[in-house]
Amino acid sequence: MSIVVTGATGHLGRLVIDSLLSAGVPAGEIAAVARDEGKAAPLAALGTEMRIADYDSPGTLTDAFRAGDRVLFVSGSEAGRRVPQHTAVIDAARAAGVAQLAYTGVLGGPAADFELAAEHQVTERLILDSGLPYTFLRNGWYSENYTENLGPVLEHGAVVAAAGEGRVASAARADYAAAAAAVLTGEGHLNTAYELCGDTAWSFAEYAAELSRQTGRTIVHTDVPGETLRGILAGAGVPEPMAGILVDVDRAIERGLLVGTSGDLSRLAGRPTTPLADSIAEALKN
């Protein structure tokens, strides 16, 4: 039996492996699933077992899992392609007889009525239908969704959104990784869904104010209609389908769908979630 992390070379997957190692899991008991052996080399150097597989190539997934494995199934990153990709992963996990399939979905699960949630909802249904022991890690927004691309915000002195006074209970990726590690190593998490989000929700006006405080510049919050934001994103080179998804997310924020109040994330991680101000400070260092 191994603890298996798919998408192991991605941002979240690598942090989960770091969290497992920090929790005392021997590297030899961790299997890292990745599609690029070269990118996975640093993980292999740590002593983790490498299993090379690609969501888009079901045949490669045959050897990704073993009977009794506890698996973190990190969702695919390409909107519009996730259902066939995820179906292949679930089929392979079921054929192998894994002991746990922990899936990273989206905050709200079946109640999330925005476009980005649809493929996650289908995936949850596929997992339920598979009969596999599952854990649904319904992740809220990563603070890094905003802080990793501060260049345009600082250049124009504006946080532009179409979310009105909506609030976001974001947390750092490392917080979600710590929660995933706890679920993979602990007991009592099977056939359970967790709604994961930050301890404190913030508005885009508050985000702009915190950026102003930390940079010493005037950063304003500009709320615009959805179609205006779509045009701004398209003008910045964001593909039209993704621009539409991002606008839809802002509308979901305005409706209060990414606030969250469960406290599940900090309970699983064993500590308070990372404040937005800390994520901003970390981003400004880089």
134, part of any domain: yes
Nearest to 100 by CA among 140, 137, 51: 137
Identify whether 231 is part of a domain: no
Q: Which domain holds residue 7?
A: 3-141+172-196+261-273
* Residue 179 falls inside a structural domain: yes
What confidence score (pLDDT) does residue 261 get?
A: 81
Q: Take residue 95 and report the two structure tokens written for it.
A: 């054929």
- Domains held by the chain: number: 1
Give dist(CA 181, CA 6) in Å, integer. 13
> Does 63 map to a domain?
yes
**Assigned domain for 252 exists:** no
Question: Can you give the pTM of this predicted structure?
Answer: 0.96
Residue 152 domain flag: no
Q: ∠ at Cα 116 (112, 121), nearest 5°?
A: 55
**pLDDT tens digits, 44-103:** 999 999 999 999 999 999 999 999 999 999 999 888 889 999 999 999 999 999 999 999
Residue 250 lies in a domain: no
Q: In the predicted model, is pLDDT for residue 128 greater than 90?
A: yes
CATH code for the domain in which residue 53 is found? 3.40.50.720
Note the pLDDT tens digit of each residue in 140-177.
999 999 999 899 999 999 999 999 999 999 999 999 99
39, pLDDT greater than 90:
yes
* 207 located within any domain: no
